[in-house]
Structure 1
Amino acid sequence: MSKNPIIVNAPASKSLSHRTLIAAALAGGVSNISSVLESDDITRTRDCLTACGASIVEKDGVLVVTGMSDGPKGGNADGKHKDETPHELFMHESGTTCRLMTAVAAAGKGTFRVHGAPRMHERPMAELTTALAALGAKFAFEGQEGYLPFVMTANGYKKKSVEITLEESSQYLSGLLLGAPLADHETTISVIGEKAVSWPYVALTLRIMEDFKAGFAVEILDGREWKAVPWRSVKGVKPGKVRFIVQPMGYENTGYQVEGDWSNASYFLAAGAVGTRPVLLKGLAADSLQGDRAIMDILSQMGASIKVNFDGILVEPGPLRGINVNMGRCPDLVPTVAAVAAFAATPTTIGNVAHLRLKETDRLAACANELARVGCGTEATVDSLIIRPAPLPRDSEVNFTTYNDHRMAMSMSLFELAGIKVNLDNPACVGKSFPGFFEEWKKIVG
């Protein structure tokens, strides 16, 4: 190897930090959780869990979680004090917190006011609120039906079965799965609709449920018969062909360490592909269930050299070419891959990503707009993004808009490796998932 690699430690997984804290809070007893990501979104989930009755205390870098004794409790939980105010579940801009915690709170008892930042009030929730209403929750929408803010009156999951689609987000299903062990009967959750996105995130939910001893089975329709299959064998979901049977066993407390985050590591792995020095990422599980592990395959297809060894994941630069890639399973990687595509010699098409229009911003439009600033030809269709690279304006200064979207801010930083002075209108928005990003990024850009 020509140059020594830049060594970076991957931050903890945001997806697994949310799910681990929720499972620990729903378990009886005390769980010690280490390596939890510190970020705005995780703070939102912590605050919602403590509002529902859990205790989360930091001690020597470990979060000591004392679970709710009998599920989430909201204001007026016993129905005797009609004037008691609902418990506040404030989501700010965390879509994950919003979808997971709304479903989990609905599995408890009491009234909860669910609200967030203005952008959160624009993101659809009807898919989930309809499913929760079918299970017995009642909703009073303060504005448009199917959107935050609303007051939810919960009395546990009363019905034995519910249907959900994964067309907008897999988090609706993850939320129902996390709440279902609290029911006092077996719950069957069936996936319906036209298509299913982001299956790997559901696999992360099932992994945490298994690790905290929640009982469940995954069944696949084989002809006319439902057959149980090992959940790790499921690599994708065909609506109408999969269902989840969750047992009313609750969760057991345990000690747990959260693994590294492939989404937030993607910017550093990409830096190894587009920069002049190799980058070695430590703390990632190469066999992770995280969908964003796909960044290894994508960068490799584009021409970078990827090596997995005992030290970590090593990425070395190479001549990059454009690719056609379906990113329905790993939508959070789209801004990273779009930025790398600008460094390639030929065009890239990113497909099956219509659900990106519902993120912190319309991420397809945002990527198209910002890549145009460095000279790329860009085209955003209903569900795809086409990037036609042009020579990058090296030794220039470019002002990028972040749209208050952490992933846009981190992805556009990659253009520093083209010798461009990158000015971001709101660099602080990285606090949503990775407050220490720019400190780590200094290792890359010197």
Structure 2
Amino acid sequence: MMEIKENLSPVTVTAPASKSLSHRYLIGAALAAGVSTVRHTLESQDLERTRAILCAAGARMEALPPDAADGPSGWRVTGMNGAPRGGDREPLSCDVHESGTTCRLLTAVLAAGQGLFRIHGAGRMHERPIGELTDALEKLGARVCFEQRPGCPPLLLTAKGLDPAPLHGEVRLGMDVSSQYFSGLLLAAALGPAPLTVDLAGRKAVSWPYVGLTLQCLTDFGITFSARTRKNEESPWQTLPEGDWRKLREARPGCLRVTVQPGAYRAGDYTVEGDWSGASYLLAAGVLGRRPVRVEGLRSDSLQGDRALLDILQRMGARLETEADAVTAYPSALHGVALDMGSCPDLVPTVAVLASFARGSTRISNVAHLRVKESDRISAPAQELAKTGVTVDALSDGLLVNGLAGRGCGRQNAPRLPEGLNLCVHNDHRMAMSLALLGLQEPGLRMETRLDDPSVVCKSFPQFWDIWSRLA
């Protein structure tokens, strides 16, 4: 068993750029009139898909000069000065590959344009639902034809702008499966001829903080909107004072509506903040590894939902030090907790691994929609952790992880990788990065050699293994 030296100075690393905001800011810049600079964007396969489709639809993008050894520091974007343009006779090919964010946000944005678009992808993308969003788009004037499975890509989209008039300016849209439906329609709404009110419908609202990031993007790009809330469906609507939408920590169906005014996206100079999702693996490494890890580039006031990792780690007993733009995580003994992770589902694979090293059981709930991500993120962690000796129950809406630490002396009992055992990442970048945590307590173990496809991290964090080599 490794020796943990608590007096070691922290390893300092920088958080990658926010994937969610990189998508949104590049979309905003592409829709603007004039030239924008979008700095510190994430360079990943998902962002390549978003940029390629935006450029095919009328924008131009040029990489900014490299920033030292870190590669491209962002993009100079010449906006399309209006709505996206598709094909006249043949549809414009829009290959989202396996990027759900690209697919859902851009399906709505392209529907606000003109012409024919074919939206298609790879892998599980053709199994991931989008029907609730396309139903709303059709009510606003778009035509959608699914080529294979109903309600899923690939699809043919005939766009002629979004017209709120037939719906008297109001459309209902749920977030039971994905908040990206709601975000995509908000981004598209400003391109219409009249105000559009998007009412939150459905049974529950997952991943609400990501809608907050969309509202932040609209604000930054000069798009006017108002948000109204009410206590219950019998109460009167109350308009939130300007900027108070930032204080919303959750949204309840029937009790939230956002009205977007038509307007032009404003060209300008934008900088993407650090990514709490990507940083989650690095901070977890500080807790499970041999020495502290300090992650720089994280805004303490960020609206990103995965900032919830700080509260989760502290509830599990981790020692953390927070600064205005950095967090340091220290090696810590953990204990099990009950967690509603509906607002931060991308953290579930990481928390499941953390829980494996904890004393007692950890119950993760309100994440049933994880079954339709890049992998089934309920079954996949359960299957892989079971190979290391951890008992994990896959539940209808989450996981029950029985930590190993309580079965012996503190950190002496932990998940183990027997010689010759390799783990499956299920073609999922977040599975690969969370499983990397399993190797931290075995000195010299290179986890990328124990995974069936370590390269899948390129989807969202191409530099992951280079940074990880400094922590292992």
Measured against the shorter chain, the TM-score band is over 0.9
Paired AA for residue 278 in structure 2? N
Q: Does residue 372 in structure 1 map to residue 372 in structure 2?
A: no
8 A contact 2:277–2:346 mirrored in 1: yes
- Shift of residue 89, structure 1, vs aligned partner: 0.9
8 A contact 2:356–2:415 mirrored in 1: no
**What is the aligned partner in structure 1 of residue 171 from structure 2?**
162
Structure 1's 421 and 439: CA in aligned 2 closer, same or farther, altered over 3 A? Answer: closer
Paired AA for residue 200 in structure 2? V
Structure 1's 111 and 311: CA in aligned 2 closer, same or farther, altered over 3 A? Answer: closer
**What is the aligned partner in structure 1 of residue 453 from structure 2?**
426
Structure 1's 152 and 137: CA in aligned 2 closer, same or farther, altered over 3 A? Answer: same
1:65 pairs, out of 56, 69, 77, with: 77
Q: CA deviation digits over 1:65-112, x for unaligned, max 9?
A: 111122111111xxxxxxx21111111000000000000000111110
**What is the aligned partner in structure 2 of residue 270 from structure 1?**
284
Structure 1's 395 and 48: CA in aligned 2 closer, same or farther, altered over 3 A? Answer: closer
What CA distance in whole angstroms lies between the structure 2 residues aligned with 1:70 and 1:59?
A: 24
My pick for the range that moved more, 64-73 or 37-46, is: 64-73
8 A contact 2:190–2:261 mirrored in 1: yes
Paired AA for residue 374 in structure 1? T
**What is the aligned partner in structure 2 of residue 241 from structure 1?**
255
Unaligned runs of 5+ in 2: 1-5, 66-72, 405-412
Q: CA RMSD in A?
A: 1.3
**What is the aligned partner in structure 2 of residue 17 from structure 1?**
22
2:299 pairs, out of 285, 288, 294, with: 285
What CA distance in whole angstroms lies between the structure 1 residues aligned with 2:319 and 2:157?
A: 51
What CA distance in whole angstroms lies between the structure 2 residues aligned with 1:111 and 1:310?
A: 46
Paired AA for residue 127 in structure 1? E
What CA distance in whole angstroms lies between the structure 2 residues aligned with 1:221 and 1:250?
A: 30
**What is the aligned partner in structure 2 of residue 228 from structure 1?**
239
**What is the aligned partner in structure 2 of residue 115 from structure 1?**
120
My pick for the range that moved more, 140-149 or 401-410, is: 140-149
Provide TM-score, normalisation by structure 1. Answer: 0.96
Unaligned runs of 5+ in 1: 77-83
Paired AA for residue 63 in structure 1? W
What CA distance in whole angstroms lies between the structure 2 residues aligned with 1:186 and 1:310?
A: 38
Q: Does residue 307 in structure 1 map to residue 321 in structure 2?
A: yes
Q: Does residue 185 in structure 1 map to residue 194 in structure 2?
A: yes
2:428 pairs, out of 402, 405, 425, with: 405
SS, match of residue 443 in structure 1 = coil
Q: How does 1:29-48 map to 2 (within 5 A)?
A: 29-48=34-53
- Shift of residue 309, structure 1, vs aligned partner: 2.4
- Shift of residue 311, structure 1, vs aligned partner: 6.5
8 A contact 1:394–1:418 mirrored in 2: no
8 A contact 1:305–1:315 mirrored in 2: yes
- Shift of residue 59, structure 1, vs aligned partner: 2.5
Provide TM-score, normalisation by structure 2. Answer: 0.91
Q: Does residue 351 in structure 1 map to residue 365 in structure 2?
A: yes
8 A contact 1:26–1:251 mirrored in 2: yes
8 A contact 2:298–2:325 mirrored in 1: no
What CA distance in whole angstroms lies between the structure 1 residues aligned with 2:15 and 2:41?
A: 12
- Shift of residue 400, structure 1, vs aligned partner: 0.7
What CA distance in whole angstroms lies between the structure 2 residues aligned with 1:102 and 1:368?
A: 33
